[in-house]
Structures are given as C-alpha cells and as structure tokens.
C-alpha cells in the first residue's frame, strides 16, 4: 500500500461533504446555520486551493490536472472500458475536483452577494445561487458515479482510500 491522500486532503474532502449536506439541509428556515456553513465551506476551499500548490505530490493540481485533449482521450478509454488505473486522481477526477471546488466557491460567493446591501433581494442573484446549488448536486452525483465506476473497474474501494489515504501501488502510471 502507498500513501496517496494526506490528512489535509482527506479532512477537507469530508468536511466539504458535511458542509454541503448541512448547508443544503438548512437552506430553508435555518439561515444562520446556512450562512455559517457556507462561509466554512469557502474557507475549506481556500485552504484546499493553497494546498493544491504547496502540498505533497498527490494533493497538487499539477499532479492530477491534465490537458483537455488528454482528458478527452482518457474519457474515450473509459467508454471503451480500458482506461488505465491511476494512483492519484485520474484525468476526469482531476477536472471534477476543479469543477466541484469552483461550483462550491461560486455558490458561496453568490450567497454572500445576496446578503450585501447592493444585492439584497435581487432576484437574479438568488436564482443564480439556487441554480449553482442544483448544479452542485448534479456534479456530486456525477462524482459519486465516477468513484463507483472506477472502484469497480480497478478493484479498489476509493471511498475507503479517501478515509485512510492509502491505495495499492501496482499498476501505477508512468
């Protein structure tokens, strides 16, 4: 077994899971919790972005971000059922991280914007905030489906790996 995801990556992942779930649950009628959890999610994202540049190997964006062409080619291999296994995030997983972090950040930003004097009660800001929250749920569902598919195809439990941080070493890409 090789250590892949460090404690900060794992903690930020699971804290975001909890924050997003609780923020969604408190969206109607739990304003103080909703706002506080939204700020916490944005703080976690800020830390994760910094860690993506200064953290250990598998935490770094440079490690798992591939070009669009390389990602498309990987996607075709997924569809063909012969994609390679990655120790860290695969190309589609890398882009999913960026999409999830961006969507959560934009949802938090529009939520904050809605509380400012200038945008309080402005309909398009509220609708954008809600639309981003729905888009986030779609991304989360896609992320979970990708984790399940990759786990099944490569014979490993990726959710468990995100808890303990280790994966088997064989078949690492070069």
Structure tokens at 168: 């088997």
Number of structural domains in the chain: 1
| pLDDT (0 to 100) of residue 30 | 78
The separation between CA 156 and the C-alpha centre of its own chain, rounded to angstroms, equals 20
Domain of 129, CATH number, reads 1.20.950.20
Structure tokens at 37: 């959890």
| Structural domain includes residue 8 | yes
| Structural domain includes residue 173 | no
Q: For residue range 3-33, what is the model confidence (pLDDT) as tens digits?
A: 999 999 999 999 999 999 999 999 887 789 9
How far is it, in rounded angstroms, from Cα 28 to Cα 69?
42
* Average pLDDT for the chain: 93
How far is it, in rounded angstroms, from Cα 167 to Cα 1?
5
| Structural domain includes residue 50 | yes
| pTM score | 0.91
45 with 17: CB under 8 angstroms?
no
| Structural domain includes residue 158 | yes
What single-letter DSSP state applies at residue 88?
Answer: S
């Amino acid at each position: 077994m090789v250590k892949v995801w460090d404690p900060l990556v794992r903690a930020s992942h699971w804290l975001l899971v909890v924050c997003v779930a609780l923020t969604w649950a408190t969206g109607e009628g739990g304003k103080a919790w909703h706002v506080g959890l939204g700020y916490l999610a944005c703080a976690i994202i800020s830390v994760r972005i910094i860690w993506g540049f200064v953290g250990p190997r598998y935490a770094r964006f440079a490690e798992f971000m591939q070009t669009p062409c390389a990602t498309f080619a990987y996607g075709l291999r997924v569809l063909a059922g012969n994609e390679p296994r990655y120790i860290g995030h695969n190309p589609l997983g890398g882009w999913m991280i960026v999409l999830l972090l961006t969507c959560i950040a934009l949802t938090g930003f529009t939520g904050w914007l809605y509380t400012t004097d200038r945008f309080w009660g402005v309909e398009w800001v509220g609708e954008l905030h809600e639309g981003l929250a729905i888009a986030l749920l779609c991304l989360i569902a896609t992320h979970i489906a990708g984790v399940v598919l990759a786990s099944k195809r490569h014979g490993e439990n990726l959710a468990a790996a995100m808890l303990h941080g280790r994966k088997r070493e064989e078949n690492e890409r070069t």
